Structure formats: structure tokens, C-alpha cells
């Protein structure tokens, strides 16, 4: 199996199909300005820190490097590109002013790594690794995200966890600090290292992803980034492309019905059913109230009559039945398997984890069935 990177693992976990389309089928995602912008700034931070001996480059050298490395792809207009180009200069000027005066040589910059996790190769590039006075290591990852990182972002960041795994294995030194460096505000957002249990969980997660890929499990999973650049190959969106790309259509129409008409009629009927159900309940209540107020058991219309009769729902008191049956050993014959109770038991920390894990391992798909859900499409401008 080929090595996995953090980006690939993360994409697989978000939507296995989009992972397959990009990394196995080789489809190329569209250029995006924010990837270009981020890549250009990453090259510049690398240029600044990757000197053989201090001092680091001057501000003029850094900005001139920036101009030569500017990546133009993905911007929507020349104005947008010019705006971000100026913004990048501003960010780098701030970066240089902060890091030039107390420049220290990092241990590694843009460090490429391969680590082995039980036969699965994990690969990546770490933006920067610093050696601390304490003898431990600090990992820095540059980000061009819009918003500053929260404590929660830092604690859940999978990339930092995987990088800690790699750094500890490569240098055999403890990692003491993890940092997501917010370039737009030149703010380092840091937290302590991951615990051994978190590193174990990350290793396990990498193995699980690798196993799923090896088993060729590539379902489409809708997520916040949908539709992605490969929507025309996705079962959630492909039908929209069928008219324009007939080769994508195996069957553009339902038997005797255009698919689009079937959808609209289905939604219209659903809404009518909802209205009818609500009116039916309203009338039922009117008739019941009338019968109760007038002491009637039947109300007549022109062609129909409705009978209103009080019904009783019989049942058993569980405790009383149990008290009777348990002593004679018959109680197990009337209790049945209750999936809801089982779910509650799985969440119950009072039950041994080993037992709960064993129960979870027994979970399997018992049946599959189609379920239709309706969403309103945004009107195009």
C-alpha cells in the first residue's frame, strides 16, 4: 500500500469517495486561491528559517522572494489577486519584524518524514521543529486560516497529533509544545503535547483508515464541503449532470416519468399529506368534543356517520408480572432484546469498558433499505 499523508487520511475520513476520486483515480481538484495563497506564504516561512547559519534573510530579500514565488492560480479576478498579494506582503512584514530580532536556528524546516505504523507508512512535511532549552522539541505548523484557533481546535487537531508521533520517532526526544501558527495575525497558538493514549488512538485510526482503503471501501459521505470538485462522479450529485453529460446517465428518466417531475410530485404529495393529516386530527377532535359534550356515541353527516366509542388499552404492570414470574423462572421468557437499552448500556461508564468494547465489536449491518429525504434547492441567481 502506498504511504498515507495527513491530508489523505483526513480526506478519507471526511468522504471516502472523494479520496478515491482524487488519490486513486487521479482526478485533479480545481485551483483555489486560498491554497495558492497558503502555499506562497509557506514557501516564504521556509525561506526565512531554512538558512545554513544566522542571520536570516533581510526583509527586502524575503519580500523579493515572495514576489518571485507568488502563485497566481485560483483567484477569481486580477483585483482579488492584487488584494491578496498586498495582504501577503503585510503578513510577511509582520512575520519578519517578530522573528528577525530573536532569530534561532530551528532543528528542522519543511522536514519530510516517513514513519511506519505497523506496516502502514505515514508520510508528510513538518513546517518547523524547534529544540527547546529544556532539551525537548516544539512543532510549529503554519496556517493561513481566516480565524484564530481555539483551545478546542488545538486539542483536536489531528495533523499535530500525527506530527508528534513522527517527531518523537525520528528524534527520539519528547515533544513539549504543539503550535498552530496563525499567519494572518502572526499569532502562535500553542498547547502541550498529546498524551500517550491519544497517540495510540491516532495510530489505531491510521490503521483503520488504511484497512478500509485496502478493502476498497469508498462510500460517498455528505459533509460540510459538498459538493466537492468531483460532484459529477458522486451519487448524491451525478444526476444533476446527466442532461449536460449524457455519458454519465445510465437512466435519465424513471419508467414513464421524467425524474425531475417525479421528485416535484413526490414533494408536493408529501406536503399535501401533512396538511391532510393536520386537518384530519382537527376534525377528529371536533367530533370527539361534540360527542362528549352532548353525551353522544354517534354523529351523522349527509352520507356517513362517525361512531365515537371509548376504548380501553389493556396492559400489564411490569413489576407485578415480574414479581409473579421471576420466582418460578418464567421471567426470561417474556423479556425481549431491546436495542435502546443496549445503547444506554454502551454509554454507561459503570459497565466494564472491555464488555462494552466486545458488544461494539458485535455491531453489524442487519438490513439496508432506501429512505427518501427532501431538501429545498437554493434558487440560482
Residues that bind ligand SF4 (CB under 6 A): 15, 17-18, 220-223, 225-228, 230-231, 234, 236-237
**For residues 17 and 166, which CB has a smaller minimum distance to ligand SF4 in the complex?**
17
Min dist CB 264 to ligand SF4, Å, is 23
**For residues 17 and 109, which CB has a smaller minimum distance to ligand SF4 in the complex?**
17
Min dist CB 229 to ligand SF4, Å, is 8
Note whether 110 and 50 are within 8 A (CB): yes
Distance between CA atoms of residues 99 and 86, nearest Å: 20
Residue for grid cell 417474556: 334
Q: Cite the beta strand spans of the chain per DSSP E.
A: 4-5, 108-117, 120-131, 137-143, 175-182, 187-191, 253-254, 257-258, 298-300, 305-307
Min dist CB 21 to ligand SF4, Å, is 7
Residue for grid cell 517527531: 167
Note whether 130 and 112 are within 8 A (CB): no
Min dist CB 10 to ligand SF4, Å, is 12
Min dist CB 225 to ligand SF4, Å, is 6
Distance between CA atoms of residues 317 and 320, nearest Å: 5
**For residues 138 and 228, which CB has a smaller minimum distance to ligand SF4 in the complex?**
228
**For residues 153 and 229, which CB has a smaller minimum distance to ligand SF4 in the complex?**
229
For residue 312, give the 3-state DSSP assignment: coil
Distance between CA atoms of residues 183 and 143, nearest Å: 6
**For residues 105 and 231, which CB has a smaller minimum distance to ligand SF4 in the complex?**
231
**DSSP string for 144-209:** --SSPPPHHHHHH-HHHHHHHHHHHHHH-S-EEEEEEEEGGGTEEEEE-PPPHHHHHHHHHHHHHH
Min dist CB 230 to ligand SF4, Å, is 5
**For residues 13 and 177, which CB has a smaller minimum distance to ligand SF4 in the complex?**
13
Nearest to 149 by CA among 192, 183, 125, 99: 183
How many alpha carbons lie under 13 Å from residue 161 in its C-beta half-sphere? 22
- Can you say how many angstroms the Cα of residue 320 is from the centroid of all Cα atoms in its chain? 49
**For residues 173 and 248, which CB has a smaller minimum distance to ligand SF4 in the complex?**
248
* Beta-carbon contacts of residue 48 (< 8 Å; ≥ 6 apart): 56, 57, 62, 95, 96, 99
Nearest to 30 by CA among 73, 82, 72: 73
**For residues 33 and 236, which CB has a smaller minimum distance to ligand SF4 in the complex?**
236
Min dist CB 145 to ligand SF4, Å, is 20
Min dist CB 127 to ligand SF4, Å, is 27
Query: Which residue's C-beta sits nearest to ligand SF4?
Result: 234
**For residues 72 and 223, which CB has a smaller minimum distance to ligand SF4 in the complex?**
223
Min dist CB 11 to ligand SF4, Å, is 9
Nearest to 287 by CA among 304, 274, 271: 304
| CA angle (189 as vertex; 74, 49 as ends), nearest 5 | 70
Min dist CB 80 to ligand SF4, Å, is 25
**For residues 34 and 290, which CB has a smaller minimum distance to ligand SF4 in the complex?**
34
Amino acid at each position: 500500500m502506498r504511504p498515507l499523508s495527513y491530508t489523505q487520511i483526513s480526506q478519507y475520513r471526511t468522504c471516502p469517495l472523494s479520496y478515491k476520486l482524487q488519490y486513486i483515480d487521479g482526478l485533479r481538484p480545481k485551483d483555489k486561491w486560498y491554497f495558492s495563497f497558503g502555499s506562497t506564504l509557506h514557501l516564504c516561512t521556509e525561506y526565512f528559517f531554512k538558512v545554513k547559519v544566522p542571520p536570516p534573510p533581510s526583509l527586502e530579500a524575503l519580500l523579493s522572494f515572495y514576489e518571485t514565488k507568488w502563485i497566481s492560480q485560483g483567484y477569481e479576478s486580477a483585483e482579488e489577486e492584487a488584494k491578496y498579494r498586498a495582504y501577503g506582503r503585510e503578513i510577511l512584514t509582520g512575520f519578519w519584524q517578530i522573528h528577525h530580532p530573536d532569530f534561532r536556528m530551528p532543528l528542522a524546516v519543511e522536514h519530510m518524514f516517513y514513519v511506519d505504523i505497523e506496516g502502514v507508512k505515514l508520510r508528510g512535511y513538518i513546517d518547523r521543529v524547534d529544540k527547546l532549552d529544556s532539551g525537548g522539541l516544539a512543532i510549529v505548523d503554519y496556517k493561513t486560516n481566516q480565524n484564530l484557533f481555539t483551545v478546542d481546535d488545538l486539542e483536536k487537531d489531528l495533523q499535530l497529533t500525527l506530527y508528534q508521533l513522527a517527531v518523537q520517532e525520528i528524534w527520539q526526544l519528547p515533544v513539549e509544545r504543539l503550535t498552530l501558527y496563525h499567519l494572518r495575525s502572526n499569532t502562535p497558538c500553542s498547547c502541550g503535547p498529546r498524551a500517550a493514549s491519544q497517540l495510540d488512538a491516532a495510530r489505531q485510526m491510521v490503521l483503520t483508515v488504511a484497512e478500509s482503503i485496502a478493502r476498497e471501501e469508498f462510500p460517498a459521505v455528505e459533509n460540510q464541503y459538498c459538493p466537492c470538485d468531483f460532484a459529477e462522479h458522486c451519487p448524491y450529485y451525478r444526476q444533476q449532470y446527466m442532461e449536460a453529460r449524457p455519458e454519465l446517465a445510465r437512466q435519465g428518466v424513471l419508467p414513464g416519468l421524467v425524474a425531475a417531475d417525479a421528485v416535484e410530485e413526490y414533494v408536493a404529495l408529501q406536503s399535501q399529506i401533512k396538511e391532510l393529516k393536520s386537518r384530519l386530527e382537527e376534525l377528529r377532535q371536533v367530533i370527539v368534543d361534540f360527542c362528549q359534550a352532548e353525551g353522544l356515541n354517534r354523529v351523522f353527516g349527509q352520507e356517513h356517520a362517525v361512531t365515537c366509542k371509548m376504548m380501553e388499552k389493556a396492559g400489564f404492570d411490569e413489576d407485578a408480572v415480574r414479581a409473579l414470574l421471576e420466582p418460578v423462572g418464567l421471567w426470561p421468557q417474556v423479556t425481549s432484546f431491546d436495542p435502546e437499552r443496549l445503547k444506554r448500556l454502551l454509554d454507561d461508564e459503570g459497565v466494564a469498558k472491555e464488555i462494552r468494547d466486545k458488544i461494539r465489536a458485535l455491531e453489524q449491518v442487519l438490513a439496508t433499505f432506501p429512505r427518501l429525504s427532501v431538501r429545498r434547492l437554493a434558487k440560482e441567481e
